[in-house]
Amino acid sequence: MGAQLALVTGGASGIGLATARLLKQHGDVLIADRDPSLIDVAEREGFGAVAADVTSTADWRCMAQHVRDRYGRLDVLVHNAGTAHIAPLVETSDADLRRVLETNVLSVLIGTREMWDLLVAARGCVVNVASVSALVGQDAAAAYVASKGAVVAVTRALAVELAPHGVRVNSVCPGSTDTPLLARHFASLPDGKQARQRLIERHPIGRLLTAEDIAPSVAHLAGPGAMAITGANVVVDGGLTATFDFGSSFAGGGPKDAA
């Protein structure tokens, strides 16, 4: 048997990369990402890396074969790849809906299915990166909220289905995390700087989270200290969902007048 292998999707930046760096302390890490330039960066950092579209069954089957041929096992599968579409539902096209749901939800189902035999053979684990949007309403983000809520629900379902095989499945719900995805969102808003500041002010810890804030919880759920944890969802949000108003700040709206 070779060393432990972890596969991290969307692993070349943000939460995925921070997680990969922690998991690399315990074995090999294979990063899957759709951005070839980021793949090159990951390889220079010493990770195995493959270019892949997580919505593609064919790409998942290629990754599964690569894992079998190169590593011979899969101990940890981190579904981190994701996308967002922040807009009113009436301004959200069918293509937008499909892109968000396929990237955020179907990828988890397809990927786990295609890696099933490897995970069972290793009695491994799956960690799904969801979002606090799975737990609260969010203005102008129905597709994203639906997708992340589904990820948490799928986590519970797969935990039950895989438990007899010795495979654990858990999820992590990050709060507003300062990643390239969030930076692109605020850059797209006319009042992006102000919207960012309003969101910061809604966090009891007084700042946005970082990828390095989230990664330890993902790594813990993948490690030996969590062997009795399955079907669980861990919230890492700096207290955001403990407050009354998550509100519309993410979408760029300001505070609402008091009733």
pLDDT in tens, 124-138: 999 999 999 999 988
Residue boundaries of the structural domains of the chain: 5-237
Is the Cβ–Cβ distance between 10 and 16 less than 8 Å? yes
CATH superfamily of this structure's domain 5-237:
NAD(P)-binding Rossmann-like Domain (3.40.50.720)
Residue range 100-114: mean pLDDT, rounded: 98
- Identify the pLDDT of residue 67: 98
14 SS3 class:
helix
| Beta-strand pair 233-236/168-174 | parallel
pLDDT-derived band at 258 (thresholds 50, 70, 90) equals very low
* 131 compared with 250, residue with greater pLDDT: 131
Main-chain phi, psi angles of 61, to 5 degrees: -65, -35
Q: Is 144 a catalytic residue?
A: yes
- Identify the pLDDT of residue 259: 33
| Beta-strand pair 168-174/125-129 | parallel
Query: Residue 157 belongs to what H/E stretch?
Result: helix 142-162
Task: Quote the DSSP letter at residue 177.
Answer: B
- Identify the pLDDT of residue 139: 87
- Identify the pLDDT of residue 208: 97
| Active-site option among 47, 144, 186, 250 | 144
Q: Which residue has the tokens 């749901």?
A: 101
Task: Name the residue among 173, 151, 150, 142 with its Cα closest to residue 250.
Answer: 142
pLDDT-derived band at 3 (thresholds 50, 70, 90) equals confident
pTM (2 decimals)?
0.92
